[in-house]
Chains A and B, each alone.
Chain A
Amino acid sequence: MEEISFTVADGEFCVLLGPSGCGKTTLLRIVAGLESASAGTVDIDTTRVDLLPPQDRDVAFVFQNYALYPHMTVFENLGFSLRLHDVAKDEIQTRVTEVARLLEIDNQLKQKPQQLSGGQRQRVALGRAIVRRPKLFLFDEPLSNLDATLRANMRVELGRLHTRLGSTMLYVTHDQAEAMTLGEKIIVLDKGRIQQVGTASEIYHRPSNLFVAGFVGQPQMNLIEGRLDSNGKFHDEGGVEIDLAGTVASRSAVDSPLTLGIRPEDFRPCASADAWFSGTAEFVEDLGSDCFVHLLCGKLKLVARLPGQNRIKRGDSLHLNADPQRVHLFRDGRRVDLFGSEA
């Protein structure tokens, strides 16, 4: 990893988002003290902690596979850290009971982890972190071992929990839904580098480079290679012509190779005269509320997300364009702002 530098504000829910192998878990483990960085520092509040062992950092870590102590009951699991910190017995009792009630596991306190369901184990793992009232919570893909329904529920609960506790949280995930819904600040990582830092909306609507544009959003943003001519028209090699005249980029980016990005939901059906893309629906995924139309225009493959009532069938021919304001342009992989100043 290189040149990674970021700050998490007090009480903030910060998400590290990236594909597997991008270094996000390593980063989290460095903050926890489970791994050491070859260079750089880690500060919590105003204290430098990167030379301290994990037990002196006052952070709580929620592991992907929960890492509960199998030989201890749920109560002992929750109270373990308090016991280590010489907290009085009756205080441990109060705090553990309180947290167990908050997470609705107060009926399981006497059970061992292997008697619990996946969701309950997840709650115990969370509880073990909460009960300590640490300065910083670290989550390493805590929901990835749960099934889809449970994951969606726990996601909402985690969000509520954060509002309720107001604690600082650093959360690692590769799931963009988790990142977008939970993160007040999202840090997108790839290949050991920070790609973009911003709110969910900034990352979605103004991706700062091609990686972020392609990684965030489902289905993926459509990316089309081409060039701008001096009239402000974008051409690709297959004869697509898009009029972007009057934008900043149209003056500054003329003749250099560009990538144009359009989110599937930004496409709108139009008359053939106004169409940017005309083609046939090769495949339609009907989700009820929406349908994803896989469109073949010459060599170009596009995905459009259209309202469900459009009733498009396989083989239908389709004309699409989009609001030029919602088009993304990238030069050398980096965002070029169409409206307003150039990035």
Chain B
Amino acid sequence: MKKFAFAASVAAIGTLTLLPFSWFVLTSWKSAAEIIAIPPVILPSFHWDNYRAAITQYGLLHYIGNSAIVALATTLVSLAIASLAAFALARFKLRWARYYLMLLLALSMFPQIAIAGPVWRLLNFLGWLNSYQGIVAAYISLTLPFAVWVLTTFFQELPYDIEEAALVDGCTRWQALRLVVLPLAAPGLFTAAILVFIHAWNEFFFALIILTYPALQTLPVGIALFPGEYTMPWGEIAAASTIATLPLVALTLIFQRRIVQGLSAGAVKG
């Protein structure tokens, strides 16, 4: 009975979460007539026209390219800064480390809308609106607190002895970080990298206000702008959304064990 209840709730939650996703995946294979048919058609006739149109008419590949550049750059820079900051927070006996971490957490709780104005003005002042560096800088500020948190817990879990052994063996602090600490912290770095990447890949709001040139726009903004004045290309939108989701689904499925490990680091010892 208990087992059955558990299975039923899992099924219910799973259906509920997967429903929108499955709906647009199915929609992406429907013809224009099937999409607007009443009563709705559940199973599509497996058309690939929507995909072809999304790529050829709506420049989907171009948006994917932009998103990839922005998300990768965000991930790299964010992780480079975060790993150094986290190392210092975890290892050097800083008096304010705890408060600093709490401050970071508080900062990451700010609603995006509250900082949108200042961010826009700052980027405008720098002349970085409509530029990759502008959007990447904004994303770094969003993802950094999280990355620092994940990595700090990770570094704290690494036995300090190993690092000291490296120091006595002849490493400078830098070498110890590069040759011993970072390889050992790889699972943590990986988790942080994937989560930062997903965040940057999905982000819509800042991308919308910072990137107004279609040439620079990222996937979420691009897809949102598919509808024209008189058209609502549901099929193409569904096709583009499916493609946009695929890398994330793949990343999460392949690395789910690592992500869970990384997120729960520090919670339980071992």
Contact = CB atoms under 8 A, between A and B. Distances in A.
B141 interface: no
Interface stretch (B63-71, B82-90, B98-106, B161-169): B161-169
Nearest to A132: B169
Interface string B135-155: 000000000000000000000
B170 interface: yes
B162 A81 contact: no
A153 B200 CA distance: 58
A84 interface: yes
Q: Interface majority SS on B: helix, strand, loop or mixed?
A: helix
A71 to B, nearest CB: 5
A71 B162 CA distance: 11
Given A67-B162, A84-B175, A60 B180 contact: no
Contact of B172 (A55, A80, A132): A55
Interface string B177-194: 001100110000000000
A66 to B, nearest CB: 8
B170 A81 contact: yes
A307 B170 CA distance: 53
B248 interface: no
Interface string A31-51: 011100000000000000000
Given A67-B159, A69-B180, A70-B184, A34 B170 contact: no
A32 B171 contact: no
A6 to B, nearest CB: 21
A63 B164 CA distance: 9
Contacts of B164: 34, 54, 61, 63, 67
Interface string A73-98: 00000001100110000000000000
Contacts of B165: 61, 63, 67-69, 128
Contacts of B161: 63, 65, 67
A128 to B, nearest CB: 7
B265 to A, nearest CB: 16
Contact of B169 (A33, A71, A80): A80
Contacts of B184: 69-71
Contacts of B162: 67-70
Nearest to B165: A67
Contacts of A65: 159, 161
Contact of B167 (A34, A68, A69, A132): A34
Interface residues of B, number: 17
Contacts of A128: 165, 169
B159 A55 contact: no
A32 B169 CA distance: 11
B167 A54 contact: yes
B168 A84 contact: no
Contacts of A81: 169-170
A55 B169 CA distance: 6
Given A63-B161, A67-B162, A55 B180 contact: no
A143 interface: no
B163 to A, nearest CB: 8
A53 interface: yes
A96 to B, nearest CB: 13
A69 B185 CA distance: 12
A68 B166 CA distance: 9
A84 B164 CA distance: 15
A65 B165 CA distance: 11
A80 B162 CA distance: 12
B169 A84 contact: yes
Nearest to A57: B168
A173 B131 CA distance: 62
A292 B165 CA distance: 43
A59 interface: yes
A54 to B, nearest CB: 5
Nearest to A71: B183
A296 B170 CA distance: 58
Nearest to A59: B168
A336 B208 CA distance: 88
22 contacts: A32-B168, A33-B167, A55-B167, A55-B168, A55-B171, A59-B168, A60-B169, A61-B165, A61-B168, A63-B161, A63-B164, A63-B165, A67-B159, A67-B161, A69-B162, A69-B180, A69-B184, A80-B166, A80-B169, A80-B179, A81-B169, A128-B165
Interface of B: 159, 161-162, 164-172, 175, 179-180, 183-184
What 7 A-B pairs are tightest by C-beta distance, nearest first? A67-B161, A81-B169, A84-B170, A67-B165, A61-B168, A54-B167, A55-B170
